[in-house]
Structure 1
Amino acid sequence: MRDDALTKRDFQRLSHFRYQLRVFLRQSEDICRDHGLTPLQYQLLLHLLGFEGREWASIGELAERLQAKHHGTVALVNRCEQLGLVERRPSRGDRRRIEVHLLARGAELARRIAELHQPELRHLQEEFHLPGWPDLP
Structure 2
Amino acid sequence: MTDGHELTDADYAALAEFRYALRQFQAFSERVAANCGLTPQQHQALLAIRAAAHANVSVGYVAERLSLKPHSATGLIDRLEALGLVTRRPSPDDGRQALLELMPRAQTLLRQLSETHREEIVRLRPMLTELLARID
Shift of 1:93: 1.2
- Counterpart code for 2:73: T
Shift of 1:129: 2.7
Q: Which residue of 2 aligns with 1:46?
A: 47
- Aligned length, in residue pairs: 128
Distance 1:5 1:97 in 2: 51
- Counterpart code for 1:37: L
Where structure 2 has 5 or more consecutive residues not aligned to the other structure, the ranges are 131-136
Where structure 1 has 5 or more consecutive residues not aligned to the other structure, the ranges are 131-137
Q: Which residue of 2 aligns with 1:117?
A: 117
Shift of 1:101: 1.1
Identity across the alignment (%): 38
Q: 1:50-65, aligned counterparts within 5 Å?
A: 50-54=51-55, 56-65=56-65
TM superposition outliers: structure 1 runs of 4+ over 6 Å: none
3-state SS of the aligned residue for 1:57? coil
Q: 1:22-33, aligned counterparts within 5 Å?
A: 22-33=23-34
Shift of 1:40: 0.6
Distance 2:124 2:62 in 1: 25
Shift of 1:61: 0.9
Shift of 1:66: 0.6
Higher helix share: 2
3-state SS of the aligned residue for 2:72? helix
- Counterpart code for 1:63: A
Q: Which residue of 2 aligns with 1:88?
A: 88
Q: Which residue of 1 aligns with 2:134?
A: none
Shift of 1:6: 2.1
Shift of 1:5: 3.2
After TM superposition, the score normalised by the length of structure 1 is 0.86
RMSD: 1.7
